[in-house]
Structure 1
Amino acid sequence: MKLNICHLYPDLLDLYGDRGNIITLTKRAQWRGIDTAVQRVSLGEPLDFADMDILFIGGGSDREQNILVEDLMKRKQELRAAIEDGLVVLAICGGYQLLGQYYQMGNGKKIPGLGFLDLWTEAGTKRLIGNVAVRLEKELQAQGEQLETAKRLNTLVGFENHSGKTYLGAAVQEIGQVLHGNGNNGKDGSEGVRYKNVFGTYLHGPLLPKNPNFADLLLSLAFKRSGQTENLAPLEDQLEILAHETMLERILSVH
């Protein structure tokens, strides 16, 4: 099987080493003998979402989001169709916000989102910054335990830096509950969003090198969508798991 990954707007959305997520997905596939191809697509460049297995959208500032909205609106129907067909999407911070209904700025102006997900974001008066630990919601824990790799990990660790506060509606669910940090809005204890195979989160750092369990979950969902029924082959994950658990212990020790 060949894995097709799209890195959308890599030149505009790449805060805090977000391209490391692409490297992680690529390497963990290649280490299993799976061919990978990464298509980097920027403003106005052609893209057929139907040919992609995984779509990645990184983080950016409010300025970048304003620039991207117009281009994304031109791709809206094609991307919506791919999402409803089960395309695996990982969206970080600004990319996460863009998938929602709108971003309301401090002056009251609303930047329209793509409207794919039942969520909205409001500008806060202070930045939410620091390390984050999250316990995955039960369905994701169960899916992770079905994998042969990194199945002991039911948590995520990462770094957040955002002033926007995101609120989820009834049609979507959170990725997990915050053990330490702020998460979506610093109020309700939620972090991230899941809708079908779409995942949005505020965790930078980048996310996937610190969380091999989550990287393999994304790969597994992409393979299942393409008709692959076998489990991912196990990898030697001792170092990755140790790094994750060490980071988790350090974060929780200051809680």
Structure 2
Amino acid sequence: MSPRKGKKRAPVIDSKVTCETFETTDEASLAISETSLAASETSIATSETSQAISVSFRQFSGEFPSWAAFHEGLTEYQDETHQLYKIRSTNSVADRNEQRSATASRRGTSPNLFDESLKFYTKTLICTHGWTFKPSRKGSRTNHNIGSIQSSAKISAVLVKDGHNYKVRVSSHVATHNDDVSRDVYYSYAEARKITSPGTRHVVKTLMQGGSKKKKILRYLKEVSGNPVLPKDVENLIAKMRKETYTSEDDNERVGQVLRDFSE
């Protein structure tokens, strides 16, 4: 008779060890996932940096007989290159004279003062995407459409004295952008679509006084300017002209505009 074989006992599993093993495995997996995610984000950031936009244009330079002439020249330059600049800061002639007077007083000399009727001593203009945005409040609706990416493009101009005359000189211009510069982007701004030509504005005023509809005025402006003028641009122009007419010193012109508005 063969000896009786005993039954094998199942190994005893320590539940504490098993839980710790699972937790260790989960933590290791989570660490690997986080490392992979960080590596992926780094790769994306590197890719975006390598594809960053950098475009340069010819510099805006020269001297102008007045600030008005400077801005006219700048407008032509902007239309040609599809760049758009806005005033970032100014320094008045009055402040400049005050500083020069204080310096001259300390040194016991006579100050070289500028004509304060010229108003501005310096102006600094930056690209429309050059502003640094700071949210005014907390919450999920702090802003809707922020165009600032801190573009480095900047123009500086200064008033200089040449004998008894004054002129505005472009002192520096950084003409490199890290934002998209194109015709479509340029004309997406209402400022770029403004009608500034005195002759064109006079024709529009004549059309208004003759009772022409806004559609006809819009068609005329598109043909003359060659720019993508929008219906709201026509409405803004008409509203501005009406305001100018209402404040006109010519009584007949004011009364005529009131009657035309009343008949619409």
TM-score, with normalisation over the residues of structure 1?
A: 0.22
Higher Rg of the two aligned structures: 2
When you count strand as a share of all residues, which structure comes out higher? 1
When you count helix as a share of all residues, which structure comes out higher? 2
Larger relative contact order (Cα-Cα within 8 Å, sequence gap ≥ 6): 1
